[in-house]
Amino acid sequence: MTVLHLRAAGVSLVLDARGASAPTVVHWGSDLGDLDANVLAALADAAVPAVPPSSIDVPLRLSLWPSLAEGWTGRPALAGHRQGVPAPALRLLDVQVQEQAATVRGESADGSLELTTVLELSAEGVLRVRHRLLNRGAGDFDLAGLDVRLPIPEQAAELLDFTGLWAHERQPQRTPLRHGVWSRESRHGRPGHDDAFLLMAGVPGFGFRSGQVWAVHLAFSGDKTLHAERSALGHGCLGGGELLAPGEVRLAPGETYETPWLVAVHSATGIDGLSDRLHPWIRARATLRHPRPVVLNTWEAVYFDHDLAVLTDLADAAAEAGVERFVLDDGWFTGRRDDRRALGDWQVDPSVWPDGLHPLISRVHAAGMEFGLWVEPEMISPDSQLAREHPSWVLGGGTGHTWRWQRVLDLGNPEAYACLRDRLVALLTEYPIAFLKWDHNRDLLTPGSAHRQTTALYRLLAELKAAFPDVEIESCASGGARIDLGILDLVDRFWTSDTNDPLDRQSIQRWTSVLIPPEYLGGHLGDATAHVTGRHSALGFRLATALFGSAGIEWNLTTATPAERAEIAAWIAEYKRLRPLLHSGTVVRADSPDPALRLHGVVAQDRTAALFALVSLGSPRSALPPPARFPGLDPDRRYTVRPIGTPPRTVQDAPPAWLRTGEATLPGRVLAEAGLPVPLLAPEQALLLEVTETP
Ligand code: DGJ
C-alpha cells in the first residue's frame, strides 16, 4: 500500500496508507505541490512524532479511525457493541484510488466488522468524507456512533461556529480551542435554530479576508454533532457525525450503515475563501434552475385570513410590481383557521375555497405568475381528521409535549408514509403547483426517532422530485432551522429566517451565505414595521437587504402607497437585471474595524462587474468612518463605482467628493487598498454600489 496525495485548487490531502494499521491523514491544508512517491513517503515518515514520557511506547498518530486500541484516548471514531462486547479496533485491508478520490477499506481483527471510508476532493478543493460500516458478524451490532475525523494543525487555535434562536439564526460565536472537546450537538430531529452549521478552526483572529481556516459541515438534517478536539499530547482534529440514540441503529448480519458526508474545506485566505470553494462546488453539483423567480409569499400579508377577493387583489398587485411566483402560505386546508389544528388534512378547505384553489391559481397564471403552496407534511395536529382516524401514526404515541399545538407524523410507519405521499401526489396532480414551501415547525422530542424520520423524509422528497421533476421545493423549519447540505440535494430554496427585519437579516444572511450560495436563501421585503420585532425600517434598507438572495415580498402590497409600489417595482426590475451576477458571482465581505459598518458584495466570476452594499447597522464609532475597501476585484483592471437604488438617509453636511460627481473610476488595486471615503449613513441604512469594468 501507499501514501496517497489528493490535490485540487490549492488543497492537498496526504494519506499514509502503508502497513496494516489504520490510515493517517498526515496533511490536509494548502497545496504541497507535485510530489513523487519518494517524497510522499519521506513526508509521511517525517510526520511520525516523538514518543513522550508516560505514554504508549510507539509514536501516536491520529488515524482515520482513532480508537483506544491505537492509544487514542480522545473521542473514538467508532463506538458500539455486540452483546456487550465493545467494537474491536480496525486494521487496513486495501485502498483504491480514482482521480481525486480514495476508498479505504478496513476490518476488525475477528473479521466481524468492515469499515469503508470514501474521501473525495472536488475540483474546487472541497473534501468530503464518509464511512460505511458492514456487519459481517453473526449477531446484531449496536452502533453508538461513527464519526469522521480530520486533523488540524496547532495554529488552528480559534473556533468559530454558530448558535441561534427562532428569528435569530446563525449567530457566530468564537472560542479558543483548548485541551478537550468542543462538541456541538443537535437533538432537535432537525438541525435547529442553534445549529452549529459550519465549525471553523483558524489562526487566532482569522477574518473574512485573512487567516488560514479549516472548516467542517455535516450534510445531514437530523440529530448530529460537529466537534473540535485537541488532546494534551497536541493532536487536533475537527469531526462530525450523526448522533445516534441507544438502539437507534442496530445492524443485523449483512446490514450496513452509511454516515452522512462530512464536508471539509480549507482556506488560506479567511472565511471568504471557504465560500469561494463551497459556492462553486454546490453550483456545479446542483441543478438549480435560473433565473430564480421573484416571490410573493402571503404569510405576513394575510396570515390565516384566506379570502379569494383579498388574495386576488394581492396577486394583481404582485404581478404589477413584477413578481413571478405567488406562494399561498399556511391556512388553505380543511379546518386550518389558526395554528392549533388540521395539520395532516391536506385537502383544500371547501368552506373557504368552495371552488378549490382553481380560481386563485387561474388568476395567478393569468397575471403571468407561477403558483406555489405551503405544506408541513411531517406534522400532524391532535385536532385533525388524520389523527382521529390514525392515532397510532403519531410519533411517540402522542405522548410528551405538543409544540405549536402539533405533533409529528411517524414517517417510519409505512402506512403513514404512503398516505402522506398519496395526499401530496393528489394535490400536485390536481393543481398546477410549481413550488412547495415545505415547513417543519417543531423538534421531534421522541428518543430514537430522528434517524428513521430523517431518512424517510429524504426518501419522500426524492420520490416526489422523481414524480414531479418541475416542482421546486423550499426547505423551511420555523424559518432557518433546517438549512444543510443533506437536504440541499433535494430542495431548491431555503427560508433563511422567519424575521423580515432587515437589521437582523443583515447578519443572518451574511453568515448563512458563508456555506450556502445566496441564490438559495430566501430574503423577503417585509412591512415597514417588522412583524417579528416591531422595529421600523426604511424601505430602502429593506430593499437593499432582500436583494442579496432569492428575493421576494412578504407584505400586503395592496396597503402600500403608490410611491412605495413604484419603488418596489423599480427594485424588482433592478433585481432582475442584476440577478445573473448576484446568483453566480463570488460573495465577498470586507473585514471592518467598526462593527456598525459593513461592506459586502458579489463579484462576477470574470471580474468585469460587481455589486456591493455599504451597510450601517448603527452609529459609527468615528464621525468619519474608514474608507470602503472593495475586496475581490481584479487589481490590474479599472472600475467605475456608482451608487444605484434608493438613496440612503445620511447624517452629513456634504457627501464625499467622489459621490458629488456621482462616480469614481480607479484601478481595482486602489479600490481594494486605499478604498473610497464613505457617505455618513444614518443607522440602519444601505448604499448600493455598482462596479463595472471601465477600459
Ligand atoms: C413557519 C414559517 O417559517 C413561516 O414562514 C410560515 O410559513 C408559518 N410557519 C406558517 O405556519
Residue of 16, 276, 439, 484 marked active site: 439
- Measured in Å, residue 349 CA sits from the centre of ligand 1 at 19
For atom 9 of ligand 1, the residue with the nearest CA is 478
Answer yes or no: is the C-beta of 439 below 6 A from any ligand 1 atom: yes
Which pTM value belongs to this model?
0.98
For atom 10 of ligand 1, the residue with the nearest CA is 330
- Measured in Å, residue 475 CA sits from the centre of ligand 1 at 11
- Measured in Å, residue 516 CA sits from the centre of ligand 1 at 21
Answer yes or no: is the C-beta of 333 below 6 A from any ligand 1 atom: no
What atom in ligand 1 is closest to the CA of residue 498? 3
For atom 8 of ligand 1, the residue with the nearest CA is 330
Answer yes or no: is the C-beta of 684 below 6 A from any ligand 1 atom: no
Q: Residue 159 — φ and ψ, nearest 5°? A: -100, 145
Answer yes or no: is the C-beta of 441 below 6 A from any ligand 1 atom: yes
Active site residue 439: yes
Answer yes or no: is the C-beta of 122 below 6 A from any ligand 1 atom: no
SS3 182: strand
Kindly report each contact of residues 505-510 with a partner whose C-beta sits within 8 Å and lies 24 or more positions away, as own/partner. 505/545, 505/546, 506/545, 506/598, 506/615, 506/617, 507/170, 507/171, 508/168, 508/169, 508/170, 508/480, 509/545, 509/548, 509/549, 510/589, 510/598, 510/600
Which cell is 312 given? 386576488
Answer yes or no: is the C-beta of 378 below 6 A from any ligand 1 atom: no
- Measured in Å, residue 519 CA sits from the centre of ligand 1 at 20
Ligand 1 binding pocket mutation candidate from 193, 295, 336, 374 (most atoms within 8 A of CB) = 374
In angstroms, rounded to a whole number, what is the distance separating the alpha carbons of residues 478 and 473? Answer: 15
- Measured in Å, residue 437 CA sits from the centre of ligand 1 at 9
- Measured in Å, residue 479 CA sits from the centre of ligand 1 at 7
pLDDT of residue 362: 98
Residue of 147, 161, 484, 498 marked active site: 498
Which CA distances in Å does 405 have to 342, 419, 444?
Answer: 10, 22, 13
Which CA distances in Å does 582 have to 28, 271, 549, 587?
Answer: 31, 19, 8, 9
Ligand 1 binding pocket mutation candidate from 169, 438, 441 (most atoms within 8 A of CB) = 441
Sheet with 2-8, strands from edge to edge, namely 2-8, 11-17, 24-30
Residue linked to cell 433546517: 482
In angstroms, rounded to a whole number, what is the distance separating the alpha carbons of residues 240 and 260? Answer: 9
Using an 8 Å Cβ cutoff, are 694 and 640 in contact? yes
In angstroms, rounded to a whole number, what is the distance separating the alpha carbons of residues 685 and 689? Answer: 13
pLDDT of residue 135: 98
- Measured in Å, residue 423 CA sits from the centre of ligand 1 at 20
In angstroms, rounded to a whole number, what is the distance separating the alpha carbons of residues 495 and 521? Answer: 6
Q: At 100, which amino acid appears?
A: Q
Active site residue 498: yes
pLDDT of residue 433: 98
pLDDT of residue 286: 80
* Residue 559 exposed, middle or buried by CB count within 10 Å (0-12, 13-18, 19+): exposed
Q: Specify which residues 89 forms β-bridges with.
A: none
- Measured in Å, residue 473 CA sits from the centre of ligand 1 at 14
- Residue ranges of the chain whose pLDDT lies below 50: none
Closest CA to 258 of 366, 100, 129: 129
Answer yes or no: is the C-beta of 169 below 6 A from any ligand 1 atom: no
H-only helix segments in 303-443: 308-321, 358-366, 385-389, 414-430
pLDDT of residue 1: 65
Answer yes or no: is the C-beta of 474 below 6 A from any ligand 1 atom: no
Answer yes or no: is the C-beta of 374 below 6 A from any ligand 1 atom: yes
